[in-house]
Amino acid sequence: MSSDTRSTVPSFAELGVPASLTALLTAQGITTPTPIQAATLPDSLAGRDVLGRGRTGSGKTYAFLLPLVARLVASGRPASKNQPRALIMAPTRELVGQIHAALKPLAESAGLTSMTIFGGVGQNPQVANLRRGADIVLACPGRLEDLMQQGHCDLRNIEITVLDEADHMADLGFLPAVRRIMDRTPQEGQRLLFSATLDNAINVLLKRFLHSPVTHEADSAQSPVGTMDHHVLHIGREHRVGVLVDLTSAPGRTVVFTRTKHGAKALTRQLNKSGVPTVELHGNLSQNARTRNMDAFHAGTASTLVATDIAARGIHVDDVALVVHADPPVEHKAYLHRSGRTARAGAAGTVITLMTDDQVRDVRDLTRAAGIKATTTKFTGSSHPVLAQLAPGERVLVPGGLVVEGSGASESNQRGNGSGGGQSRGGSRRGRGGAGGGAAKAASKSGKPGGKGGQQRSQGQSGGPSTGGQGRSRRRPAGVATSGGSTHTAASFSSGRR
């Protein structure tokens, strides 16, 4: 059909979102609800329990934040010591931080306080903030249950409970803790459960905790985002690193996935050694190291993030144009979640899977199960013209790449004295981790400013022709200063997650 679909989508106001929240969304440029928001908001704002399924990047975050804030404002109850009024649970520290960033303007406008709870940092700041009273707690199940058992958190006054990425919590083995936590919330409270996929593990939560829930599935569990291009590069194992260096040294942010923590660490070292400013994200890093690395990637000081499946969900960075499966995932759900780091909120993106001879059958089964049709290109050497097409632009390498303090060694998950879980009025209090030790990018051969670190893409030509077609210029972002060979940035998480 050629009709304008935008005219048929109801506005946030028509869906029942309060005028104050609608105005905040409009100020952020968010005017049209996504399918999962349009489907669930009428029921969730009416106080019904909702089971919602939408792909990663489909807008689930605002689908539950808007009714949560609206409900707390309508009830008007004050926050009490150690007794929050709303609970949001998510499987990873990074996702908790992302949700909190999206919550900040909404909660601030309503005069609501919020805090985060997760492990990997000292619990004392979290205990202190609970004692002061918080309207909204965003938490990972493990640390939350620890604080509950110690008597620091009482859930008897919870008015609304949200489970985000419920299937991922099941995959990580959190369901027993989630059940014990939800058993401590009032039976009459509202429950919203959001997930990218719905399976038997989710049905357990559905039957036990949701009352006459309304189920909404906004899109197919298998179909990938329409603006993604999927490619498989059939290469020799000996050419793997060379191909990755070529792709990641092109303009634009890139997320590269490996199957293991060791693989992520080793590949990060290899890319930096080859001149690609790269940081890593995996379970063997402390929370401080994770924060520093993500700050560097958000700011653009590091242009490439090498990660395990810990980043397959919940990590949102604006303008990630390329996702590379350096190691194909073991199952199709992981493929779809990894791929969802690009092509978010209507943007375009490219997904590339590297495949060696011994992985041909596995990759074919994987793409078939994921319901995608990928274009396969076989290499006879270490290079191919398709690389310039998939990642257009001039390749820029920086001697030594980038080393972010704390990422050079694999760190165990340790409890520090960080301020994770700091309470804020409408937002979290994040540490500003300086990204040190990296060399600033030199100008490219064509005279374009900047390089792979801190780029911002512009569509069209910039400063000369680019390799492979469309040019994308790169600049060091504002707020980054270079001194003594080290690049320092006061970066923060993006709040663009919808």
pLDDT of residue 17: 96
Residues in the chain: 498
Query: Would you say 433 and 492 are in contact if contact means Cβ atoms under 8 Å apart?
Result: no
Q: Cβ(300)–Cβ(455) under 8 Å?
A: yes
Please state, in angstroms and rounded to a whole number, the distance separating the CA atoms of residues 382 and 387.
10
What domains can be seen in the chain, in order of their start residue?
A: 5-217 (3.40.50.300), 228-404+441-475 (3.40.50.300)
- pLDDT digit string (tens) for 144-202? 999 999 999 999 999 999 999 888 788 778 889 999 999 999 999 999 999 877 777 78
- Cβ atoms 476, 489 nearer than 8 A: no
Among 58-62, 85-89, 172-176, 444-448, the range of highest mean pLDDT: 85-89
Given pLDDT bands bounded at 50, 70 and 90, which one contains residue 139?
Answer: very high
Cα dihedral angle (290, 292, 295, 299), rounded to 10 degrees?
A: -140
Interacting residues of 329 by C-beta distance below 8 A, sequence separation 6+:
257, 259, 309, 335, 338, 366
SS (H, E, C) 258-313: CCCHHHHHHHHHHHHHCCCCEEEECCCCCHHHHHHHHHHHHHCCCCEEEECHHHCC
Residue with tokens 């105005």: 23
Q: Is the pLDDT of residue 446 over 70?
A: no
Strands (E), 316-460: 320-325, 349-355, 375-378
pLDDT recorded at residue 441:
35
The predicted structure's pLDDT at residue 382: 76
Q: Is the pLDDT of residue 255 over 60?
A: yes
Phi, psi of 293 (to 5 degrees): -65, -45
pTM of the prediction? Answer: 0.59
**Which tokens sit at 158?**
């919870």
Q: Which of 497, 477, 495, 473 has the alpha carbon at shortest distance from 487?
A: 477
Q: Does 225 score more than 70 pLDDT?
A: no
What CA–CA distance (Å, rounded) separates 426 from 21? 13
pLDDT score recorded for residue 90: 93
Measured from the Cβ of residue 469, the count of other Cβ atoms closer than 10 Å reads 10
pLDDT at 424: 42
**Of residues 348, 300, 296, 351, the one with CA closest to residue 323:** 351
What does the alpha-carbon distance between residue 484 and residue 326 come to, in Å, rounded to a whole number? 34
What is d(CA 400, CA 378) in angstroms, rounded to the nearest whole number?
31
User: In this model, does residue 412 exceed pLDDT 70?
Assistant: no
Contacts with 344 (C-beta within 8 Å, 6 or more apart), sequence order:
57, 316, 320, 498
Note the pLDDT tens digit of each residue in 354-398: 999 999 999 999 888 888 888 999 998 778 999 999 999 999 999
Indicate the DSSP class of residue 494. Answer: -
433: left (phi over 0), alpha (psi -120 to 50) or beta: beta
* Mean pLDDT score of the chain: 78
